[in-house]
Amino acid sequence: MYTIAIHGGAGVINRNSLNAEEEKLYLEGLEESLNIGYKLLEAGKNALDAVEAAVISLEDNLMFNAGKGSVFNSDGIHEMEASIMWGKNLDAGAVSGIRNVKNPIQLARAAMEKSPHLFLNSSGAELFAKELDFPFEDDSYFFTTKRYDQLLEAKKDSRVQLDHFADNFGTVGAVALDSFGNLASANSTGGLTNKSYGRIGDSPLIGSGTYANNNTCAVSCTGDGEFFIRGVVAYDISCLVEYKNMSLADACNLVIKEKMVKLGGEGGVIAVDKSGNVALVFNSGGMYRGFKKHDGTSEIAIF
């Protein structure tokens, strides 16, 4: 039994915000990511490998706000974040404030497996990446006219935005259950357009944006990071499953559609539990999402 789910962000999105070609590109990107992760699970690889590979695919796709498609901060540069967690032993790795690293999720996994520290930041994280000979890219690799135009629009209005006013929404992530009963979760993001002061969101924060525990579930979050941090959303869902004996769907719905709404937070989660049940829950207009299970059932959707 094995299952994988992915997301490419959530936000104020409706059918009028995407043209047919853009919708096609998003759906193709989600499908490619989902199939890459699923084929690893199908081949007997573990959940950690699957979520990392699925997220790398999304980081390499300029349609999504992570890696190559990352948004600009207020200084006109890209500062990226990522995290990964292994439900088998609660090990985790995270990076934030990094520049020019081609695939931040790989660096997050390296922090978990090859560093004495769990969370690495900024120039220190970049030095660690260089010591491991990880691939770096010039600023031009991360530049897109669409992202730059979003920055100019945000600066004009003195606004920090989650891409809600554009056509790409926040974060990418993946969760998986492998055939050995192990759960894993991963997140990666370029953060907020026009963010300043070294802002860090929920994506690299274990328990807020990312969580995995073999006894309960794996969760990846996307949306208004400040609210997801305050709600410790990923861990809250796991706790409801563990201590309240709630189903995965009920736990996700309670946290996202009730608790987060009361806080004022918008976004969603993807989650898979130890039995292979999947929940894709959001309180926003849409969420780029998909899942695929060993029995052949699958879904890819936006709205």
Q: Which residues are catalytically annotated?
A: 171
- How far apart are the two ends of the chain, measured CA to CA in Å? 28
* H helix runs in 8-121, sequence order: 20-42, 47-59, 104-114
Element (H, E) at 81: strand 80-86
User: Edge-to-edge strand order for the sheet containing 267-273?
Assistant: 210-212, 217-223, 267-273, 278-282
- 104: nearest Cα among 113, 95, 112: 95
Asked if residues 150 and 166 have their Cβ atoms less than 8 Å apart, the reply is yes
Q: Give the integer Cα–Cα distance in Å for 186 and 220.
A: 7
> In a 3-state reduction of DSSP, which class is residue 173?
strand
Half-sphere exposure of 81 (CA within 13 A, CB side): 26
Phi, psi at 185, each rounded to 5°: -140, 150
